Structure 1
Amino acid sequence: MACSLQIVRRICKKAVAALWLASAIWPVQQSAAVPATATSGCQGTVYLTFDTGSQSQAAFIASVLRRHHIRATFFLANEKTVNQDYSLDPTWAAYWKSLVQDGHAFGTHTFDHVYVIRDLPDGRILVRPQFGAHAGQTQSWTAQQYCEELRRVDERFSTLTGHRLDLLWRAPGGKLTPELLKAGEACGYRHVGWSPAGFSGDELSSEKFPNPMLLKKLLDHLSDGDIFMAHLGIWSRRQAWMPENLEPLITGLEQKNFCFATLREHPSYKLKQ
């Protein structure tokens, strides 16, 4: 099993590097070309989103957002953390409750961080969970099974916080297939990728993609309506993206008169909640 997980991580690491290199041309999932509704006095709106991960930066991110009075959107999976527990364990209940109280939005990232491999001829979907009882195992799922996997996050989040998720989901790695997209839509979830300019690069090699390079790319290219994506901590990157880049990114965008909002306010998603 450990060997299988290492293979998955190597594949994903190569995939995200390729996505970053191509991100100026094509996003993981293109957002509708509709300008965001900016608050009075703002030049535009950027939508910050964060996926679970090692959780090493979770408290830092919450404090920065709180200090700047920014509301973001979080996509949750039950991933192993630096505390040797899992991100949707009861030990994280206080953290998620505090984010609910701060007014953030929340979507599902699949409970066991399930990667899609491909569609099968019979309508099933070939997948590989990264965590849980079937970690590293390739499995054939029906659309209903995938739907249940999305809803597992909602059920756990409700147990931990007393609140339900927004009807949003993000596939691990941002990878979609036609059948996977239909499965999510069939059980009421809208898939959210990220914008070409919004990929933080926090999963990439810090030697090849140092923090100043990644920060400059974001500040140079983020524009009105863009969806930014980063993680609450990454195992593989030697020099963490967050402590050095998050606040300068926010400050830099504020100096350009950008505002921030959750995906509840995004034109492509707000009417579907």
Structure 2
Amino acid sequence: MRRAVEFALAAAAALWQPVQAAPACERPVYLTFDTGHMGVADLVADVLARHDVKVTFFLANEKTQDGGSSLDARWAAWWKARAAEGHAFGSHTWDHVVWQADVAAGLKARPTAGEQAGQTQVLDAADYCEQLRRPARWFTEATGQAMLPLFRAPAGRTSARLLEAARQCGFRHVGWAPAGFLGDELPSERFPNRLLRDTALRDIREGDILVAHLGIWSRKDPWAPAVLEPLIEGLKARGFCFRTLAEHPQYRDWITKHPLN
């Protein structure tokens, strides 16, 4: 009887042991996703959840395979679920506005989404600020959470004037490392998935920001999840760990000092 009581007490004590803290992330990389046609969004989410990887998503209201757009009511639940999982989020401009040149009146740009898709327009600083803030407002309404005060210019194209307009609006730009360009925008005929995977596993280094998309219209052999899962597994095997940009040393102070309301 005494031994039974001792066993029960030991079992109870084991149940009440403090939860072990997650191991420190000594070799972080920062995986990011820009919106796209969203055709692989569920597959990406499944892989990230299965491997307990947190990423940063950059949101634009792009055309989707289901006939809507990536920030319409049909996708609100998807974004809310990702927010609940602990991912981070930034702006990619509402209409996926690609900068072309600085002109006297402001920023010459061409959106690839929205009512003026494909039409060249000139935006002043206030116009560009609205392009940055509109995804943030939508995200907060859909999820109850705030975006990070970070953005990625579509195609990564910027100028000093554009960056200053964004800074005055409370946003800081995030690019990617040379090795962090994961190649999902490239033609699969010339850049097959195996090549992209092997190149990334060979070249990615500690601290790199990586970029991929939630679906690219032009790629015939989708990058995700075919490359995504073995890439995550391979990077972990090399001793890397994954963190969001909220923890990036280059952006932490900016995030703290410029919260989006």
- The TM-score normalised by the length of structure 1 is 0.84
2:62 is equivalent to residue 66 of structure 1? no
**2 CA distance for matches of 1:131 and 1:245?**
27
SS at match of 2:68: coil
**1 CA distance for matches of 2:120 and 2:221?**
32
**1 CA distance for matches of 2:68 and 2:26?**
42
**2 CA distance for matches of 1:169 and 1:43?**
26
The alpha carbon displacement at 1:144 in A equals 1.1
Contact 1:43 1:256 in 2 (8 A): no
Match runs of 1:13-162 below 5 Å: 40=23, 44-122=27-105, 124-162=106-144
Q: Structure 2: which 5+ residue stretches go unaligned?
A: 1-21, 256-261
**1 CA distance for matches of 2:140 and 2:131?**
15
2:197 is equivalent to residue 224 of structure 1? no
**1 CA distance for matches of 2:155 and 2:165?**
17
- The TM-score normalised by the length of structure 2 is 0.87
Q: Which residue of 1 aligns with 2:248?
A: 266
SS at match of 1:150: helix
Q: Which stretches of structure 1, 4 residues or more, deviate above 4 A after TM superposition?
A: 39-43
The alpha carbon displacement at 1:243 in A equals 2.1
**2 CA distance for matches of 1:43 and 1:264?**
16
**2 CA distance for matches of 1:166 and 1:211?**
31
Counterpart code for 1:250: I
Q: Which residue of 1 aligns with 2:174?
A: 192
The alpha carbon displacement at 1:257 in A equals 1.1
The alpha carbon displacement at 1:43 in A equals 5.2
Match runs of 1:156-195 below 5 Å: 156-195=138-177
CA deviation vs aligned residue, 1:234-272 (integer Å, no higher than 9, x gap):
110000011211010000011111110000001101111
**2 CA distance for matches of 1:234 and 1:220?**
24
CA deviation vs aligned residue, 1:99-155 (integer Å, no higher than 9, x gap):
000000000000010011100134x11011111121111111111110011001111
Bigger CA radius of gyration:
2
CA RMSD across the alignment: 1.2
Q: Which moved more, 1:50-59 or 1:128-137?
A: 128-137
**2 CA distance for matches of 1:104 and 1:243?**
18
Contact 1:44 1:225 in 2 (8 A): yes
**2 CA distance for matches of 1:260 and 1:50?**
13
Q: Structure 1: which 5+ residue stretches go unaligned?
A: 1-38
**2 CA distance for matches of 1:132 and 1:269?**
30
The alpha carbon displacement at 1:42 in A equals 5.2
Structure 1 pair 98/52, CA: closer, same or farther in 2 (3 Å)?
same
Q: Higher relative CO (CA 8 A, sep ≥ 6), structure 1 or 2? A: 1
